[in-house]
Amino acid sequence: MTHTSALMTIMINAARKAARGLRRDFGELEALQVSKKGAADFVSGADLKAEQTLFEELSAGRPKYGFVMEERGEIEGIDNSNRFIVDPLDGTTNFLHGLPQFAISIALERDRQPYAGVIYNPATDELFWAEKGEGAFLNDRRIRVSSRVDLSECLFACGLPFRGKPGRAVALTETDRVLSETAGVRRFGSAALDLAYVAAGRFDAFWERGLNPWDVAAGVIIVCEAGGLVSEIEGGLKPHTAGSILASNSEIHELAKKILNDKS
């Protein structure tokens, strides 16, 4: 593998270890014990086991760091500058339906800004990772955002609210606007992977509202290190905590923002 820092090695090894259980359970979906966490939002035994593994591995490697975890919530650390933001299974609904579009997402937040990130899809063995100032990678290969400038050639990705979530009318209106200006819109069901795909140039842009820090923190640093831009949809500069995000290559960011914020 391309040379990695001690921090990245800890994060990558944690993701790979947690992935073993997810990969095994993905092949045995009928045996999964699943409980409802909310309307169309599930938490599985696989999810909880993966989070436990990540917590143990990351804690062993950096025992003073705090955590923000999807299931456990916030855990304060001795080191107030550093904390891991963890989603053990982004794309749970895909996972439970046998769709290989899900990921483990780990970010290291330093002084409340994303500093390093790992997004790993156990089903495809694609590992996206980045550390501030060191570039972004897919497995051993350096990645960059796309260079498309013509919106009519650009492919966007989005998230749409499912049953029980607010904001459907806004999301559908935004999607209709984007469809009228671009080559198309995809809704794959994993914000972490959508951001990783922007970093790799597979998507030219991604937007979504109603997200949590663990959905996007790793993706923010990976996109930025791949040469892209990330903001809130309205333009604010705290996309990993504000709940809305727009990530794209630098050429189309302002155009995408204009389309999404068009009130006419």
What is the per-residue pLDDT across 53-65, written as a single tens digit (0 to 9) for each?
Answer: 999 999 999 999 9
Q: What is the mean pLDDT of residues 185-195?
A: 98
* Candidate ranges 41-50, 216-225, 255-264; pick with highest mean pLDDT: 216-225
pLDDT at 32: 64
State how far the Cα of 51 lies from the Cα of 207, in Å rounded to an integer.
26
Report whether pLDDT(34) > 80. Answer: no
Entry pTM:
0.94
Q: What does pLDDT average to over the chain?
A: 93
DSSP codes of every residue in 124-186:
TTEEEEEETTS-EEETTEEE-------GGG-EEEE----TT-S-HHHHHHHHHHHHTTSSEEE
pLDDT, one tens digit per residue, over 124-139 is 999 999 999 999 999 9
Residue 260 Ramachandran class (φ > 0 left, ψ -120 to 50 alpha, else beta):
alpha
Provide the pLDDT for residue 131: 98
Q: Which amino acid does the sequence have at 196? A: A
Q: What domains, with CATH codes, occur in the chain?
A: 6-143 (3.30.540.10), 151-260 (3.40.190.80)
Inter-axis angle of helices 191-199 and 213-225, nearest 10: 0
Structure tokens at 31: 């045996």
Mean pLDDT of 170-192: 97
How would you write 152-169 as a 3-class SS string? HHCEEEECCCCCCCCCHH
Mean pLDDT to the nearest integer, 146-173: 93
Q: Is the pLDDT of residue 206 over 90?
A: yes
Q: How sure is the predictor about 30, in pLDDT bands with cuts at 50, 70 and 90?
A: low
Region 244-263 average pLDDT: 96
> Does the pLDDT of residue 251 top 90, yes or no?
yes
Measured between its terminal Cα atoms, the distance across the chain in Å is: 50
